[in-house]
Structure 1
Amino acid sequence: MADVSGISGAAGVELEALWDEFHQVVNMTSQELGAWLRTESAGEETEELPEESGTEQGRHVLKILQKRRTDLTDADIRLMAQVVDTVQTQHEHAPAPDAAEHAAWRHRLMTLGHDPLRAG
């Protein structure tokens, strides 16, 4: 996991680097992620309220995408580091594109705001 021990509040060169890395890894817009979380939470007969859609982590990523860097909390910073680490680790162990588990792998990453099929 990325080292966030020296980052506190909204200060530091490390925070700027983490902010940039997070926004490179999270390659879905807040609108796309919000729509994805609502889609994933929708059932045949019921649907969660938009603010309760998706996983807690996914909703937190969505909130971070809607913030300015100066408004980040320590919890936001920790989650940003965790998302960067998770996405990088998942890419190291990615299933083959034609493997049956590829769709589930992609959907898990999309819940964090990362669509592995997008370039860059």
Structure 2
Amino acid sequence: MAVSEQISDALWDEFHTVVNMTSRELQEWLNVESAGEETEEVPDRSGKPLGRRVLGILGKRRTDLTEDDVGVMQRVCEIVRSQRDPSLDPTAGGTDWRHGLMDIGHDPLKPA
């Protein structure tokens, strides 16, 4: 069975709902987050590994996803589900909490 056949419509839809930042927004956020006073990461290596994986998935078609991509999609959905109200209504919270979610492509202040 092809990997694309293993991805349920529910997972595909949930991932693309919880990851509410565009590829560009996420890339810019990862670049900003990894920029330090003394060092700056190469753009394609900036940000946390999970955020870079999400960015890679956003650039793929469903038919191009790997088993690892499916695992990342499931993990991101679980993280957001565990930290957010099911309605995903815009919610203010602590800066660290918001930034942690933004690292994986979910901005809790952005409308769903």
TM-score (norm 1): 0.83
- Map of 1:1-120 to 2, 5 A cutoff? 9-12=3-6, 15-91=8-84, 97=92, 102-120=94-112
Residues 8 and 74 of structure 1 are in contact (CA less than 8 Å); yes or no, is this contact kept in structure 2?
Answer: no
User: Whose radius of gyration is greater, 1 or 2?
Assistant: 1
Deviation at 1:15, TM superposition (A): 2.1
3-state DSSP of counterpart to 1:10 = helix
Q: Which moved more, 1:43-52 or 1:28-37?
A: 43-52
Q: Structure 1: which amino acid aligns with 2:12?
A: W
* Contiguous gaps of at least 5 residues in structure 1: 1-6
Deviation at 1:8, TM superposition (A): 5.9
3-state DSSP of counterpart to 1:63 = helix
- Ranges of 4+ aligned residues in structure 1 off by more than 3 Å: none
Q: Structure 2: which amino acid aligns with 1:105?
A: W
Q: Structure 1: which amino acid aligns with 2:46?
A: S
Deviation at 1:25, TM superposition (A): 0.3
Q: Structure 2: which amino acid aligns with 1:11?
A: E
* 1:18-44 Cα deviation digits (max 9, x unpaired): 111100000000000000000000011
Identity %: 53
TM-score (norm 2): 0.88
Alpha-carbon distance between aligned partners in 2 of 1:22 and 1:33, rounded to the nearest angstrom: 14
* 1:56-98 Cα deviation digits (max 9, x unpaired): 1000000000000000000000110110010010115xxx84x
Alpha-carbon distance between aligned partners in 2 of 1:110 and 1:8, rounded to the nearest angstrom: 31
Alpha-carbon distance between aligned partners in 2 of 1:18 and 1:91, rounded to the nearest angstrom: 17
Alpha-carbon distance between aligned partners in 1 of 2:62 and 2:31, rounded to the nearest angstrom: 26
Q: Which moved more, 1:83-92 or 1:27-36?
A: 83-92
3-state DSSP of counterpart to 2:98 = helix
RMSD over aligned Cα atoms: 1.8
